């Protein structure tokens, strides 16, 4: 293995990523791709970038995988203590401000951008964006990661208030698939998490079920799939 390839394999794990959070008329929907890379090498093609903090609050992680994981671990621990002391679940705003506090106080050491989303009985569904540096922004929708630069115009054109759950999830899946088509650091599958008063629902969209854009090539069986078939046929060119 040459030196450049070795450097890629030994590089820190980074989630060159597409993460999205949107509000709709009954809650929030979070979405993300699943590609984790070390340099140009794809370390994990099916990672889960949507992490649970409490029963009603989740976060989408981007940037350094190690940094985003340690922030989510600390915040989960603090929220657990908070819930025990108060005797009720923490609000989305409390969770987002804990993420903001850790990100801001360690801004010179952390390389992670986070979207916090959830539902609580006081304010309903809320989305907070916490980019590099620890700023906190409450928004009706938030996008982050390397794929987000391809999506600002799309959201300006497609976003609308008071979407239904189905409309919002379709928007998230469409947006992530668009970013996967254009951003080399985003890829794999699309995962979504729907959070509302009824609880949490996770959905999974494999890569071969996503819409194709522009000149993308349709997914085909891999060589291993063909060889493992009962009656393998010669590969066509």
- Single pTM value for the model: 0.85
The pLDDT mean for the chain works out to 89
- Residue 36 appears among annotated catalytic residues: no
Tell me which of 217 and 165 has the higher pLDDT. 165
Backbone angles phi, psi at 3, to 5 degrees: -65, -40
Contact (Cβ atoms closer than 8 angstroms) between residue 77 and residue 220: no
Question: Tell me, what's the pLDDT at 40?
Answer: 80
Length of the chain: 237
Q: What mean pLDDT is predicted for residues 216-237?
A: 62
> Each residue of 30-66: pLDDT tens digit?
999 999 888 788 888 999 999 999 999 999 999 999 9
Q: What mean pLDDT is predicted for residues 155-164?
A: 94
Q: Which of 6, 17, 83, 91 is catalytic?
A: 17
Q: What mean pLDDT is predicted for residues 191-205?
A: 97
Contact (Cβ atoms closer than 8 angstroms) between residue 129 and residue 60: no
Buried b (16+ CB within 10 A) or exposed e, 173-197: bbbbbbbbbebebbbbbbbbbbbbe
d(CA 121, CA 123): 6
Q: Sorting pLDDT into bands at 50, 70 and 90, what band is 1?
A: very low
């Amino acid at each position: 293995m040459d030196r450049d390839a070795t450097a890629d394999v030994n590089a820190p794990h980074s989630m060159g990523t597409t993460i999205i959070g949107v509000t709709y008329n009954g809650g929030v929907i979070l979405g993300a791709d699943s590609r984790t890379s070390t340099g140009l090498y794809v370390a994990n093609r099916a990672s889960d970038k949507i992490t649970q903090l409490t029963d009603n609050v989740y976060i989408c992680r981007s940037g350094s995988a190690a940094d985003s994981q340690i922030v989510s671990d600390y915040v989960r621990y603090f929220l657990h203590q908070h819930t025990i002391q108060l005797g009720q679940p923490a609000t989305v705003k409390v969770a987002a401000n804990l993420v903001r506090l850790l990100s801001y106080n360690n801004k010179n050491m952390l390389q992670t951008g986070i979207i916090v989303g959830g539902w609580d009985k006081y304010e309903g569904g809320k989305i907070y964006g916490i980019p590099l540096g620890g700023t906190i922004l409450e928004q009706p929708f938030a996008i982050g990661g390397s794929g987000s630069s391809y999506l600002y115009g799309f959201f300006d054109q497609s976003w609308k208030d008071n979407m239904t759950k189905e409309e919002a999830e379709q928007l998230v899946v469409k947006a992530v698939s668009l970013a996967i088509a254009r951003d080399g650091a985003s890829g794999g599958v699309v995962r979504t998490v729907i959070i509302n008063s009824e609880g949490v629902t996770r959905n999974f969209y494999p890569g071969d079920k996503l819409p194709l854009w522009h000149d993308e090539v349709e997914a085909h069986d891999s060589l291993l799939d063909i060889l493992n078939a009962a009656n393998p046929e010669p590969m066509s060119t």
